[in-house]
Structure 1
Amino acid sequence: MIAALLASVCLLTCLGQISQKLAVESWRGRQLSLPAKLFSPWLVLAIACLGGSLLLWLVLLQHLDVGVAYPMLSLNFVLVTLAAGVLFHERIDLRHWCGVALIVAGVALLGLQS
């Protein structure tokens, strides 16, 4: 259950971040009013995902110490990096991948602790 909660928090947070990027990309080169921006579908999805991840995070914290749970959210760096490369065709250099590998190693070490 804890692993599923953590995975859900990470996935919803990642989807929220990607939705934010898609929201601002949809605004590029367009003159939109503030209400039009605030109620754009991508921004509404981002808020819903981030709100959902917050609620699941609160449930997760009932079962896991914050000192263990919070670093696990670093997996978002991995997910967002992969999504940035695939969805936005962003260039991800070797140094970035080395940092991602260190994050994964750190999360694995913490996972052994719990």
Structure 2
Amino acid sequence: MSLLLLLVACLLTCLGQIAQKFAVESWRGQSSGVLAKLRSPWLWLALASLGLGLLVWLLVLQRVEVGIAYPMLSLNFVLITLIARFVFHEAIDRRHWLGVALVLAGVLLLSRHA
């Protein structure tokens, strides 16, 4: 159950970050007024996802030691990298992919401890 909550927290946080990116992209070419930007559904999705992610994260911290739980959030780095590459078509260099592989190895090591 703790691992499932941790994955949900990661996914919600990633969704929030992706929605932030879409919100900023949707603002290109718009008026620079704050009220116009506040009407962005992407912005509200980002806020809702990050807020819900925070609540799930608090549940995780009740069940898992912070020294194990927090490094597991580095899965966000992996997920965001994949989304940057395949959704936003951003270039990812070899060093970055090596970092992704090292993060995955670290998460695998930690998950065996939990």
TM-score after normalising by structure 1: 0.96
Report deviation, 1:32: 3.7
Report deviation, 1:15: 0.5
Give ranges in structure 1 of 5+ residues lacking alignment: none
Which residues in structure 2 correspond to 1:35-114 (within 5 Å)? Answer: 35-114=35-114
Q: 2-side partners of 1:66 and 1:36: how far apart?
A: 39
* Residue of structure 2 in register with 1:6 after alignment: 6
Q: 2-side partners of 1:106 and 1:7: how far apart?
A: 15
Secondary structure of the structure 2 residue equivalent to 1:16: helix
> Aligned AA for 2:96?
H
Q: 1-side partners of 2:92 and 2:29: how far apart?
A: 26
Listed one character per residue, the Cα deviations across residues 21-74 of structure 1 (whole Å, up to 9, x for unaligned) are 000000012214202212310000000000000000001111001110000000
Report deviation, 1:111: 1.2
Q: 2-side partners of 1:101 and 1:28: how far apart?
A: 34
- The runs of at least 4 consecutive aligned structure 1 residues that moved more than 3 Å come to none
Report deviation, 1:86: 1.3
Listed one character per residue, the Cα deviations across residues 71-112 of structure 1 (whole Å, up to 9, x for unaligned) are 000000000001111111001111110000011111111112
Give ranges in structure 2 of 5+ residues lacking alignment: none
Q: 2-side partners of 1:42 and 1:36: how far apart?
A: 12
Over the matched positions of the two proteins, sequence identity in percent amounts to: 63
> Aligned AA for 2:52?
G
Aligned residues: 114
